């Protein structure tokens, strides 16, 4: 099978098409013939040498795919050959075939093509676990989502607004993203280059602050996030695009009784990921079937143009998800 390989750690130019043996699905795993694969920031970090795959995972990039089941290992009970699925991976998505535990697969929602379906797993698993489980977001609460125009942001806005019934504010870096985020359910879109998000959310909440912040930035945003949080507010850190080291005044946490937490998804066990898949299928998949929530696709690239796909996501010009196509 054809795969995308890394010749050495570095920029997009190190990505190249290679060949590997087709995987054989082990017990309780299925083999998927991939039609499309999502491109995510962690793929770029792995390409640079900063995000190694967990033990036992493929060294091939790619954390989500959509395609057709072509073989089933011993003990597979739900899926059969010919089923169209999307799947969360620990690696191996930039390839024509991938083996994955059956519990990490989900049916492709009604009316979705493979490109749309490939944009779901990594993003929606991440958003659901951090908004609902870690963030404990509830109907009527307010949430500030940083980076609203990216794949994570566009999904988080929709889930927070339509599945959890929250007031949603978001920050973006380009004016063209404002109407997109508003259409998805954001009450207020903050252009962070021209506006101070702390002042804006304080004004929108009668100086109370927001109940939850979902942050991908880290670094210079950390202290400002604490200022923007309400009493008993929660900060959920899911990435550190502008720095992982911060200085913390513990008195601010104590005075406002804040909860600071964070998470990663890739290293979780199969059992944990299976439980998340079941929760998503119950809570979010009906909204996808009904068309109330949908992934926003920025651009697709054929597998052979994977370098351009990585250049696109690193440029920050995208709105929504970038997807590779294998077929």
What is the gyration radius of the CA atoms in the chain, in angstroms?
Answer: 20
Q: Which of 262, 277, 296 is where one domain is finished?
A: 262
Condensed to tens digits (0 to 9), the pLDDT of residues 181-228 reads 999 999 999 999 999 999 999 999 999 999 999 999 999 999 999 999
Q: Nearest-CA neighbor of 37 among 101, 120, 112, 100?
A: 120
Q: Which of 222, 239, 262 is where one domain is finished?
A: 262
Instruction: In whole angstroms, give the CA distance from residue 273 to residue 100.
Output: 12
Amino acid 272: pLDDT: 95
CATH of residue 69's domain is 3.90.180.10
Does residue 116 share a domain with residue 128?
no
Instruction: In whole angstroms, give the CA distance from residue 145 to residue 212.
Output: 8
Does residue 183 share a domain with residue 150?
yes
Amino acid 149: pLDDT: 94
Instruction: In whole angstroms, give the CA distance from residue 81 to residue 73.
Output: 11
Q: Residues near 180 by Cβ (< 8 Å), separated by ≥ 6?
A: 149, 154, 296, 319, 320
Amino acid 327: pLDDT: 83
Q: Which of 262, 287, 310 is where one domain is finished?
A: 262
Condensed to tens digits (0 to 9), the pLDDT of residues 140-174 reads 999 999 999 999 999 999 999 999 999 999 999 99
Does residue 236 share a domain with residue 130?
yes
Does residue 320 share a domain with residue 280?
yes
Amino acid 44: pLDDT: 97
Phi, psi angle pair for 283, to nearest 5° = -95, -35
| Stretches in the chain below the pLDDT threshold 70 | none
Q: How many structural domains is the chain composed of?
A: 2
Q: Which domain holds residue 107?
A: 2-120+266-325
Q: How many CB atoms lie within 10 A of CB 140?
A: 10
Amino acid 301: pLDDT: 98
Does residue 300 share a domain with residue 253?
no
Does residue 234 share a domain with residue 272?
no
């Amino acid at each position: 099978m054809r795969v995308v390989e890394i010749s050495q750690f570095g920029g997009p130019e190190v990505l190249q098409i290679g060949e590997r043996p087709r995987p054989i699905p082990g017990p309780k795993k299925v083999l998927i013939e991939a039609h499309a694969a999502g491109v995510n920031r962690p793929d770029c970090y792995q390409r640079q040498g900063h995000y190694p795959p967990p033990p036992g995972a493929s060294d091939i990039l790619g954390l989500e795919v959509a395609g057709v089941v072509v073989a089933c290992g011993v003990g597979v009970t739900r899926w059969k050959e010919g089923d169209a699925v999307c799947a969360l991976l620990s690696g191996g998505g930039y390839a024509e075939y991938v083996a994955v535990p059956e519990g990490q697969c989900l049916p492709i929602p009604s009316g979705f093509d493979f490109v749309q379906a490939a944009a779901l797993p990594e993003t929606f698993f991440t958003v659901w676990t951090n908004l609902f489980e870690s963030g404990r977001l509830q109907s009527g609460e307010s949430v500030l989502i940083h980076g609203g125009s990216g794949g994570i942001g566009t999904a988080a806005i929709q889930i927070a607004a339509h599945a959890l019934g929250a007031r949603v504010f978001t920050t973006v870096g380009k004016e063209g993203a404002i109407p997109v985020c508003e259409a998805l359910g954001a009450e207020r879109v903050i252009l962070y280059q021209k506006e101070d998000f702390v002042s804006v959310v304080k004004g929108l909440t009668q100086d109370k602050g927001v109940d939850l912040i979902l942050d991908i930035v880290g670094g210079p945003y950390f202290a400002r996030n604490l200022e923007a949080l309400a009493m008993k507010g929660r900060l959920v850190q899911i990435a550190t695009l502008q720095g992982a080291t911060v200085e913390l005044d513990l008195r601010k946490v104590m005075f406002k009784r804040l909860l600071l937490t964070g998470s990663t998804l890739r290293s979780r066990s199969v059992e944990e990921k299976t439980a998340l898949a079941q929760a998503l299928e119950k809570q979010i998949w009906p909204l996808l079937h009904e068309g109330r929530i949908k992934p926003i696709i920025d651009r697709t690239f054929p597998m052979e143009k994977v370098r351009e796909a990585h250049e696109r996501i690193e440029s920050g010009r995208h709105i929504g998800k970038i997807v590779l196509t294998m077929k």
